[in-house]
Structure 1
Amino acid sequence: MILGLRTAIYPVSDLSTAKRWYADVLAAQPYFDEPFYVGFNVGGFELGLIPDGTPGTSGSQALWGVRDIDAVFARLLAAGASSLDPVTEVGGGIKVAAVTDPFGNRFGIIENPHFDPAAVK
């Protein structure tokens, strides 16, 4: 049985620079830091960085939960990300947006008033 999301992995060309950028954006230091993988704990889930692979904005799209999507979207842009999809209401009070991180990856965010953290397994 699939229990739910545990990790979203982002390939980057410069692991050291990406580690600093994500530490700033996430306001957290990695809990796992090796030359082959850097892992951040984000609200009980993992955001991982790998130094190989090809960054991109197509394919699977993880959306990271936020409380104030407008403020977080502005913070990501101020940190050097580029707007990919502006903040958009998609119905039911749910808002989504996405940026391209400085390494070429899609970084999606979602403000979802219906998300129940207690339902996470």
Structure 2
Amino acid sequence: MLLGLRSAIYPVADLAAASSWYESVLGTAPYFSEPFYVGFAVGGFELGLLPDGTPGTGGPQPLWGVADAQHTIERLLALGATPLDPVTEVGGGIKVGAVTDPFGNRLGVIENPHFNAADVR
């Protein structure tokens, strides 16, 4: 049985460059860093980087929770991401958007006033 999101893993060709970029984005160093995998702790979940993979914007599309979707997308763009999906209100005050990270992966965000961290298992 699925208990909930634990990790979102992004394939990258240059692990060192991706690790450095995500460290800038997240404002924290990875908690796990080996030549075969880098993991960042993000609000009780994990953003992982997997070397020698094929980046892409298709497939599963995790959305990382943020307080302000527009501000976050603007910051990601300033850090070198490229626009993918503009911030859009999808109903109920929920806003989503996405960029392509410098390594070719989709990085999606969600501003959801209904999210209750107490529900996370």
TM-score under structure 2 normalisation? 0.99
Shift of 1:30: 0.1
1:73 counterpart = 2:73: yes
Q: Distance in 1 between matches of 2:35 and 2:53?
A: 14
Q: Which runs of 5+ in 1 are unaligned?
A: none
Give percent identity, aligned residues only: 71
The two structures, once aligned, show a CA RMSD in angstroms of: 0.5
1:41 counterpart residue number: 41
2:9 counterpart residue number: 9
- For residue 47 of structure 2, what is the amino acid of its counterpart? L
Q: Distance in 2 between matches of 1:43 and 1:52?
A: 26
1:95 counterpart = 2:113: no
Shift of 1:6: 0.1
2:19 counterpart residue number: 19
- For residue 101 of structure 1, what is the amino acid of its counterpart? D
Residues matched between the structures, number: 121
Deviation sequence 1:73-109 (CA, Å, 0-9, x none): 1000000000000000000000000000000000000
